[in-house]
Amino acid sequence: MPLDSPTRLTDLKLPTAVLAAAWLGDTELLVGCLDGIYRVDLDTASHRKVAAHASYVSSVAALPSQGQYLSAGYDGMLQWYDLATDSIVRSRNLHAFWSWDMTVSPDETLIASVTGQYLAGGYKYEPAAEREPSVKIVAADTGETLQSLSHVPSVQAVAFSNDSQFVAAGNLMGEIRIWNARSGEQVASWTTPDFTSWGIIKSHCYLGGIFALRFAPDDAELLMCGMGPMRDPMAGNGRQLWQRWDWRADPPVKRDETHKDESGEGLMESLAVHPHHETFAMGGRLRGGNLNVGFYRLSDGSKVGSLKSGYRVTDILFAGDGSRMILVGGQGQPDKDEQGRIADFGRLEVYDIA
Amino acid sequence: MGSFAGLFSAQAIADEVKKQGKKCILLWLCGAPSQFETWDPKPGTETAGPFAAIPTAMPGVHVSELMPQCASILDKLAIIRSMKTEPSEHFQGIDVLTRGDAPRPPFTRPILGSVVAQQLGQLDSPVPQFVLLDPCPEGNEFKAFKGGNWAGWLGAEYGPVRAGGEYSIPNILRPESIDEADHADREALRRFLSRKFENDQSSAAAAGYNAAFARVKGLMSCAPLFDIERLPADDRYRYGPGAFAQHALLARHLIENGSTFVMVANGMPWDNHVFQHEMHQMLVPELDNVIYQLVNDLSERGMLDDTLVIAMGEFGRTPWLNDARGRDHYAKAWSLAMAGGGIRGGVVHGATDERGFDVTTDPVDNRELFATIFTTLGIDPAAEYDLGDLPTFHRVEGDAKPISTLLNAG
């Protein structure tokens, strides 16, 4: 089993926490950080900053067919760059609020980005209705907005199906909506209450939600992750949780979720399906227990391996041949040192899983 | 009160302040909000967080983009950006920032609202003089604090009447089986017997019980004041739907109708060790709107000069982010806001360094803050408490002086 004992090959530090990563080639990565976008050469273990947003960079993606790459940020902007020169090719102010998550369809024709500010909409702090379309789909080659789709803020995760036909988006309240990506027709909608907390101890408001989505290799099921409900959401000690749903059933049916005694506590915010289509990985923060990255069989959901990285994992990538795994994330930002500097707290690790 | 006049340019000003019948609304931001996402943004630095800074009505002064409405009325607000206090744990921080000083047993220092109610309140009024509106029954450390002795040595009659949310005021409706006359006769008999017992036995407990009973009797006559449903729909819409906003509106209503001090809380929602930005994106806009509506309403009603509005927590949040997307407790450099009640608008007092690690100009501690609050309300901060055999205690210890730049009369 390749994932039961991963071996760390590389351990890099970046100036600020890494929130997203994408492959630019066999030995090069693109990473989005709190302070901008970096290209990382894995052979030389070096990095260089190539661009920035006016706020955190939430997502990055490659567009190899067009010789470009992309980033989205908490400034609501979507930016295209020339792969050879790193110059900005195009930028779009997609959202008035953050782009929480952005992704490119596998056929590289569509880009989806999700937004939404959680504002008080009721006495118990139910989310207010959206003030702008929560989901936008744009043409990858022109930047033209093709679909503006409605959801309930905040919409925190988005994914395309492997056949590029469908787009799924999940929100704070655990509601998932799936649309035909080209027509904008909504084809499924349901809510799983298991990722959302309503504060009892310290605060009366909602917290949590779905933080990552991935379609299973055959597109028949949808994986999602986050953190289980808590009495005190401020404790961040909800169960590390994934669920797998048959979204084509009417109504959609939950097929599986993190098995009992196979999880610790902490927010899970990244999912990746291994290229061999036998396993998937889930990563996030360790609040309690002994893992913050787990590997699970797609067939029966059983855990086949785990890691304790020592930092919050925000994104997971597998190499195309399945031989390596990339983890990115961030440690707690340290206090300044005696010289007034803040030590690097972004992390990138390469693991051999062959 | 000998030291009181010295705080002002003329005794006449002090006398005038006392005559004005000042009141106070404390927006108690329990859990401790982030100064970076409110009053002291640090754009372009490692500590900035994801939110931008925006210009305000005060040239050159910026606040978080989450506060556009307060930005537009900053000329009516006073911001202290240089709060520097000691406790960095909640219970101790709440103690110091609501009472004005750290505990010094056996003396229990009365909470701000109790002092204001005792000094400025109309004790013969049926309307409660000190009201705590807190719809959240829990609150972690704040819950524990709520169970403590708020009025301290002043006595239970100066403690708060608690209302809000699930805390409707119980047993204040006269049963239909008892008519007005019968009820009055029963009350007269009860008052006679208990006063006799109180006098015969020198019983403080009986005195406290009598005070509480008198207050309940008063509440029976003013229960509708506490009914949010009776407030104008337009006002309720303007303040926003959340429990904190609705109770801030209720605070205005109570002040308009005779209360002297209203403290508005909602548990301890600002303690964002996790999801700092995900929570502040919701909490700060609500606070922004509440302050804006309150200040404008009080101004339009001609009440702002006599009503002090304070928005503060027990400390601030760290410049750095932990690995759970949170900011932790930070008392070394934090911010708060005030308006009205004799506080000069358009003032930003003090400053922090480029990244918000420390105070660089005009540090303010809890004693100076309380000296400022008491002074602007016309209460002598240097007054001595007469505590029998105990050492001498003052309303504000250490001969702390008010911040003169914040006082209209300074």
- Nearest-angstrom CA–CA distance, B350 and B340: 19
Chain A residues closer than 8 Å to B140 by CB: 201-202, 232
- For B317-346, what is each residue's pLDDT tens digit? 999 999 888 999 999 999 999 999 999 999
Of A55, A123, A334, the CB nearest to B50: A55
Residue B217 CB burial class (10 angstroms; 0-12, 13-18, ≥19):
middle
Q: How many other C-beta atoms are found inside a 10 Å radius of the C-beta of residue B189?
A: 10
Across the range B279-292, mean pLDDT stands at 98
Nearest-Cα residue of chain A relative to residue B275: A234
User: Which CATH number characterizes residue B253's domain?
Assistant: 3.40.720.10
Cα–Cα dist A336/A345, whole Å? 12
**B285 and chain A in contact, CB less than 8 A:** yes
Q: Which residues of B touch A17 (CB under 8 A)?
A: 321
Alpha-carbon distance A311 to nearest alpha carbon in chain B (angstroms): 7
Four-residue CA torsion sign, B36, B39, B44, B49: positive
Query: pTM surpassing 0.95?
Result: no
In chain B, whose CA is at the least distance from the CA of A120?
B242
Instruction: Assess B391–A contact: CB distance below 8 Å, yes or no.
Output: no
Query: B265 in contact with A at a CB cutoff of 8 Å?
Result: no
Closest partner CB to B267 (pick from A16, A55, A204)? A204
Q: Residues A198-225: pLDDT tens digits?
A: 988 888 899 999 999 999 999 999 999 9
CB pair distance less than 8 Å for A203 and B266 = yes
> Is residue B282 less than 8 Å (CB to CB) from chain A?
yes
Select the residue of B51, B271, B355 nearest A202 (Cβ to Cβ): B271
Cβ distance A125 to B242 less than 8 Å, yes or no, reads yes
User: What's the confidence (pLDDT) of residue B2?
Assistant: 32
pLDDT tens column, A261-296: 999 999 999 999 999 999 999 999 999 999 999 999
Least confident of A75-79, A144-148, A269-273, B118-122: B118-122
Check A203 against B267: CB less than 8 A apart: yes
Assigned token pair, B348: 């930003």
Q: pLDDT band for A2, please (50, 70, 90 cuts).
A: low
Query: Of A351, A212, A192, nearest to A272 (Cα)?
Result: A212
Task: Provide mean pLDDT across the span B235-252.
Answer: 97
Name the residue among B269, B282, B325 with its Cβ closest to that of A118.
B282
Structural domains counted in chain B? 1
Q: What is the pLDDT of residue A68?
A: 98
| pLDDT for res A202 | 83
Q: How confident is the model at residue B13 (pLDDT cuts 50, 70, 90)?
A: very low
Question: Helix, strand, or coil here: B372?
Answer: helix
B/e letters for B316-328, b = 16+ CB within 10 Å, e = fewer, are bbbbbbbbbbbbb
Using an 8 Å CB-CB cutoff, list chain A residues near B51.
Answer: 55
For residues B3 and B73, give the distance between their C-alpha atoms in angstroms, rounded to a whole number: 35
Query: At B51, phi and psi to the nearest 5?
Result: -90, 145
Q: Do A333 and B322 touch (CB under 8 A)?
A: yes
- pLDDT tier, B186 (very low <50, low <70, confident <90, very high otherwise): low
Mean pLDDT of B198-214: 57
For the cut 90, the answer to whether the pLDDT of residue B65 exceeds it is yes
Best A202, A207, A211, A333 residue to mutate vs chain B (most B CBs within 10 Å)? A202
Q: State the pLDDT confidence band at B215, using cuts at 50, 70 and 90.
A: low
Is B122 a member of any domain? yes
Whether residue A233 and residue B320 make contact (CB cut-off 8 A), yes or no, is: no
What domains are there in chain A, each with its CATH number?
16-93 (2.40.10.480)
Q: Is the pLDDT of residue B198 over 60?
A: no
Is residue B194, in this structure, part of any structural domain at all? no
- Cα–Cα distances (Å) from A322 to A308, A346, A354, B237, in that order, read 20, 24, 7, 56
The conformational region for residue B211 under phi > 0 = left, psi -120 to 50 = alpha, else beta, is alpha
Q: Which of A160-169, B117-126, B339-348 has the lowest mean pLDDT?
A: B117-126
**Between B243-256 and B276-300, two packed helices, what is the crossing angle to 10 degrees?**
20
Are residues A234 and B274, on separate chains, in Cβ contact within 8 Å?
Answer: yes
With 50 as the cut, is the pLDDT of residue B11 above it? no
Kindly determine whether residue B46 and residue A35, on different chains, have CB atoms separated by under 8 Å: yes
Interface test with B, best of A195, A200, A205, A230 (most B CBs within 10 A): A205
Angle at A73 between CA A68 and CA A79, to 5 degrees: 30
B267 touches chain A (CB under 8 A): yes
Q: Taking all residues of chain B, what is their mean pLDDT, rounded to a whole number?
A: 87
CB contact B243 to A (< 8 Å): yes
**What pLDDT score does B325 carry?**
83
B269 shares contact with chain A (CB less than 8 Å)? yes
User: Tokens 């597109």 correspond to what residue?
Assistant: A219
CA distance B339 to chain A (A): 25
Q: Is the pLDDT of residue B202 over 60?
A: no
- Range with the lowest mean pLDDT among A194-203, B52-61, B84-93, B398-407? A194-203
β-bridge partners, A110: A139
Q: Do A204 and B269 touch (CB under 8 A)?
A: yes
* Predicted confidence (pLDDT) at residue A30 exceeds the cutoff of 60: yes
Q: What residues in B contact A201, CB-CB < 8 Å?
A: 138-140, 267
Contacts of B46 in chain A (CB under 8 A): 16, 35, 333, 342
Residue B223 lies in a domain: no
Cβ–Cβ contacts within 10 Å for residue B329, how many? 19
Partner A contacted by B136 (CB < 8 A)? yes
In this predicted structure, what is the pLDDT of residue B219?
Answer: 65
Distance, CA of B194 to CA of A276 (rounded, Å): 84
pLDDT-wise least confident of A83-87, A152-156, B195-199, B297-301: B195-199
The reported pLDDT for the residue numbered B18 is 47
Mean residue pLDDT of chain A comes to 96
Name the more confident of B5 and A275.
A275
Q: Would you say residue A303 has pLDDT above 50?
A: yes
> Is A232's CB within 8 Å of B140's CB?
yes
pLDDT digits (tens, 9 = 90+) for B353-382: 999 999 999 999 999 999 999 999 999 999
Q: Do A118 and B278 touch (CB under 8 A)?
A: yes
Residues of B in contact with A232 (CB under 8 A): 140
CA distance B58 to chain A (A): 24
Cβ neighbours for A178, distance < 8 A, ≥ 6 positions apart? A166, A167, A168, A169, A186, A187, A188, A189, A222, A247
B19 touches B11 (CB < 8 A): no
Q: Which chain A positions have a beta carbon within 8 Å of B243's beta carbon? A: 123-125, 204
Mutate to test the interface with B, among A98, A100, A203, A313 (most CBs of B within 10 A): A203
Would the CB atoms of B245 and A120 count as touching at under 8 Å?
yes
Tell me the nearest-neighbour CA distance from B356 into chain A, angstroms: 11
Which band of pLDDT confidence, cut at 50, 70 and 90, is reported for residue A4? confident
Q: Check pLDDT > 50 for residue B8.
A: no
Of A16, A204, A234, the CB nearest to B272: A234
Tell whether B246 is covered by a domain. yes
Angstroms from A279 CA to nearest CA on chain B: 27
Contact call for residues B268 and B90 (beta carbons, < 8 A): yes
B215 occurs within a structural domain: no
B87 in A contact zone (CB under 8 Å): no
CB B408 within 8 A of CB B342: yes
Compare CB distances from B321 to A123, A267, A333 and report the shortest one's residue.
Answer: A333
Of B243, B283, B322, the CB nearest to A123: B243
Identify whether B146 is part of a domain: yes
B352 located within any domain: yes
How far does B31 lie from chain A, in Å, by closest CA? 8
pLDDT for the residue B190: 59
Could you tell me if residue B247 is inside a domain?
Answer: yes
> Residue B193: which pLDDT band, with cuts at 50, 70 and 90?
low
| Containing structural domain, residue B287 | 5-172+233-406
Q: Do A236 and B272 touch (CB under 8 A)?
A: no
Separation in Å, CA A213 to CA A132, A197, A243, B8 = 22, 19, 10, 64
The bridge status of strand B53-55 relative to strand B329-330 is unpaired
Chain A interface includes B320 (CB < 8 A): yes
Using CB atoms, pick whichever of A121, A202, A204 lies closest to residue B241. Answer: A121
Stated as kind and residue range, the H or E segment containing B362 is none
Q: Where does the pLDDT of residue B189 fall: very low under 50, low under 70, confident under 90, or very high at 90 and above?
A: low
